[in-house]
Structure 1
Amino acid sequence: MSDLILHHYPTSPFAEKVRLILGYKQLAWKSVFIPMIMPKPDLTALTGGYRKTPVLQIGADIYCDTALICDVLEQLAPTPTLFPDAVKGAARIVAQWADSALFTAAMAYNFQPAGVAQVFAGAPAEGVQAFVADRTAMRGGAGRMASADATATYKSYLRRIASMLHGQDFVFGTQPCVADFAAYHPLWFTQERTPALAGILDATPEVKTWMARMKAIGHGTPGKVSAPEALEVAHSSTPAAVQGDVFQDEHGIALGSHVVIAADNFGLEPTEGELIAATRTRYTLRRSDDRAGTIHVHFPRVGFTLKKASA
């Protein structure tokens, strides 16, 4: 198997989710740091347009969205599992809530003025403005939740997590699962990146104790690789053959069609390519790029739209 290459940056909450899972599963991996904001030319050479963080590369296969990355890592290293049989469905539902509703409230809370001052300490004003403009574009122009609303919502969500943790070490029992990693990463940002605002966690000591357990998992010991080296890995590799039942048609779009895939609500940059698989859970596009060569780009069905490309 080719090396696992994670394209990320250190302060990305969603990247922290995947870094901890790599540590939990004791998988060797290599790190490529990418810019926080667009343009990201080395990343989009691999993805064809998708720009959210992180992205997982295995040879000439590119995996977008952490929900799909979790499934890929589970296939590579089934033990310890992210999806215990007894709570598999509930764990996925909680993870989806955490990656959407919890994340939205937490980050709106974190980016009130005191948090912004810490996140961008020492940064020039134009850098802060560029970040704000970038994230506004990612939201498709939609406004961010007001700080007061975010504070009330975040407190409520923290109490709910505390209730789930009552009497046990992790959200669904004695071992962490995908729900723990998804719920942890927005709170990690509060604690590690905006400590001036971390007092919100004090009302839920069970959550703080659980966070310490999660942090202790660590990231393993990643190696380093440059973006040009990662592109060369893709160019010199052959994408893996798509396995199993490759076509479940929900759109009336045949395999081999030229299509566009995009996230449905945040980070809307599209990726175009040839549809070569539409399984129960994911889409796969074949693309060619001068620097990356022939690559397969994979997306989960949930959270993404599929359309025929314009003629």
Structure 2
Amino acid sequence: MAELILHHYPQSPFAEKVRLVLGYKQLAWKSVFIPVVMPKPDLVALTGGYRKTPVLQIGCDVYCDTALICDVLEHVQPTPTLYPEGHKGMARVFAQWADTTLFWTAMPYNLQPQGVAAMFAGAPPEAAQAFAGDRAAMSTGMNRIRPADATAAYKSYLRRMASMLEDSPFLMGSAPCIADFSAYHALWFTRHAVGALRAILDATPSVLAWMDRMAAIGHGQAGRMSATEAIAVCAQSMGASTEKASVFQDEHGIALGSQVTVQAESFGSELTEGELVAATRTRYTLRRTDARAGVVHVHFPRVGYVLKKAKPV
């Protein structure tokens, strides 16, 4: 199998989720740093439009969204599992809640003026302005919770997590699972990126102890790679390295081979356009061609993404 290449930046909470999963599975991977804000020409050369962080590349296969990335890493290295027997469904449902409701409660709390000041301490004023403008563009049309409401809800969610940790070291038992990795990353951002705002965690010491256990997992065996090298890896690949899709599940009346677009339902809804080459129970795969990257297979999860026929040129 081609090497695992993660396109990310150090401060990204969703990237921290995947970095810890790589560590949990003791995988070797290559790190490609991408810009925090647009433009991201090297990333878009691979994705065709999708610009959120992180993205996983394996040869000429590019995986978008951490829910799908975690499924791929489970396929690459099944043990230790992210989806333990006995509560696979519960773990996945909790993870989806954590990646959406918990995350979009924590971030308005984190990005209050005090938090932004801590994030950009020592940076020129235009850096904070660029970040704010970029994230505002990504969240156009979203109903964003206000900081005061976010604070109250965040405290409640932390107390509920503390209750889950009363009798076990991790959220669903004696070992971490997808629920832990998905719940951890927004709290990690609070603890490490926003200065005085991290005090909200102090009221739930069991959550802090759990965070210490999660952090101790580490990030696996990471090496560096440039974006130019990663694009070259894609261009030199001999074909898709993923398992072949054997089932076509059609919910849209769109045949394989059609030109389609895929975009996120809400945050970061840039379009990726390509030929629909797979539509399984859980994912879409688009084949597209880039001048630098060559033929790329871009994969998206079904949940949280919108598939449409491309508009005729």
Which TM-score band (shorter chain)? over 0.9
Counterpart position of 1:281: 282
Counterpart position of 2:13: 13
CA offsets per residue over residues 200-235 of structure 1, 9 Å max, x none? 111111101100000000002300000000000000
Counterpart position of 2:100: 100
Could you tell me whether the CA contact under 8 Å between 2:7 and 2:56 is conserved in 1?
Answer: yes
Counterpart position of 2:268: 267
- Secondary structure at the aligned position of 1:86 is classed as coil
What's the CA shift for 1:146? 1.3
Q: TM-score with structure 2 length normalisation?
A: 0.98
Query: For residues 1-311 of structure 1, what are the structure 2 equivalents within 5 Å?
Result: 1-142=1-142, 144-237=144-237, 238-240=239-241, 243-311=244-312
Q: TM-score with structure 1 length normalisation?
A: 0.98
CA offsets per residue over residues 140-186 of structure 1, 9 Å max, x none? 24353211111001001101111111110000000000000000000
What's the CA shift for 1:299? 0.3
**Residue type matched to 2:224 in 1?**
K
What's the CA shift for 1:240? 2.6
Give the whole-Å Cα distance in 1 for the aligned partners of 2:94 and 2:242.
Answer: 32
Identity across matched positions, percent: 68
- Secondary structure at the aligned position of 1:74 is classed as helix
Could you tell me whether the CA contact under 8 Å between 2:190 and 2:198 is conserved in 1?
Answer: yes
Give the whole-Å Cα distance in 1 for the aligned partners of 2:266 and 2:161.
Answer: 25
Q: How many aligned residue pairs are there?
A: 311
Could you tell me whether the CA contact under 8 Å between 2:260 and 2:276 is conserved in 1?
Answer: yes
Q: C-alpha root-mean-square deviation of aligned residues, in Å?
A: 1.0
Give the whole-Å Cα distance in 2 for the aligned partners of 1:60 and 1:248.
Answer: 23
Give the whole-Å Cα distance in 1 for the aligned partners of 2:189 and 2:4.
Answer: 24
- Secondary structure at the aligned position of 2:87 is classed as helix
What's the CA shift for 1:85? 1.4
Q: Which runs of 5+ in 2 are unaligned?
A: none
Could you tell me whether the CA contact under 8 Å between 2:245 and 2:278 is conserved in 1?
Answer: no
Could you tell me whether the CA contact under 8 Å between 1:239 and 1:294 is conserved in 2?
Answer: no
What's the CA shift for 1:3? 0.6
What's the CA shift for 1:241? 5.8
Q: Select between 279-288 and 187-196 the one with higher mean Cα deviation.
A: 187-196
CA offsets per residue over residues 253-280 of structure 1, 9 Å max, x none? 0000000000001100010000000000
Give the whole-Å Cα distance in 2 for the aligned partners of 1:150 and 1:184.
Answer: 17
